[in-house]
A = this chain, B = another copy of it.
Amino acid sequence: METTLTISVQDYLKAIYELTAGGEPANTTALATRLGIAPASVTGMIQKLSRIKPPLVEYRKHQGVKLTAQGNKAALEVIRHHRLIEAWLVQTLGYSWDEVHAEAEQLEHAISEDFEARIASALGNPERDPHGEPIPSVNLTMPEDTLLPLAALRKGQAAIVKRVNAENPELLRHLDSLGLVPGTKIEITDYSPYDNNLTVLIDDQDFVIGLAISTKIFVEKF
C-alpha cells in the first residue's frame, strides 16, 4: 500500500505538520525557510504531493497547503521515529538534549519499523521525548496536549514545566542553564504588560523571560 516516501518528502510532510499545528495552512515561504529550500522548489514539490495517487497534501494556489489524512499519518510516522530516537539517544548513549535533534533528523529516515518497535519497547513506550514533546502512538495518532504556554501565565501563578518547543542547541543549553527543563517548578513573580516580559522564579532565582522564550515553554498550572 505504502510506496516508500523519499527522505525529502518525509521532511516536507513533517514541516507541513509542524507549520499547520495552529490550524492555518502552511505557506510557501514558511516552508521554504524551514526546509532551507528556494520557494520555487517548494511550490513544485507541494504541487506534486497534491497530485499523487492518494494525495498527501491539499493545495490551492496562493492558499497554502494542509496535510490530507494520508499525509498526516505519514508525517506522524516520521515524527514518532524522530522523538523515539531522541529519547533513546539520551537514555542509552548519554546524549544531552541539545545534541539529539541533528542526529535524529538523519536517523528518522533510516530506521525500520522493527527498530522503531524495539526502541519503543526498550524505553517502556515513553509518551514524551527529552524536550517533553509528545510521541505519536504506534497507530499514529498524536496524543492531545492540554499544556499552556508559559507566556499565558501571570503574576502569582505557579506551574510545572512540561514541554520545550525548540531545536536550536544554543537556545536549549541556555534554557538548561536557567533550569527551564521538563519537571521544574516555577512561579511568576512579575509581569510587564508593555513588553510581555515575565519574571519567573526558578530554583529560588528570578529570571526575566521575553516572549521569544515564553511562547516556546509549555507548562501545567498547579
Give me the interface of A with B, judged by CB distance under 8 Å: 92-95, 99, 102-103, 106-107, 109-112, 114-115, 118-119, 122
Contact = CB atoms under 8 A, between A and B. Distances in A.
A93 B107 contact: no
Given A93-B118, A119-B93, A110 B112 contact: no
- The quantity of this chain's copies bound in the complex is 2
Q: Which of A99, A109, A110 has the most CB of B within 10 A?
A: A110
Shortest Cβ-Cβ A-B pairs, 8 listed: A110-B110, A106-B110, A93-B118, A107-B110, A103-B112, A103-B115, A93-B122, A92-B92
A176 to B, nearest CB: 19
Contacts of A109: 110
Nearest to A108: B110
A126 to B, nearest CB: 16
A115 B85 CA distance: 12
Contacts of A118: 93-95
Contacts of A110: 106-107, 109-110
Contacts of A107: 107, 110-111
Contact of A115 (B93, B114, B115, B122): B93
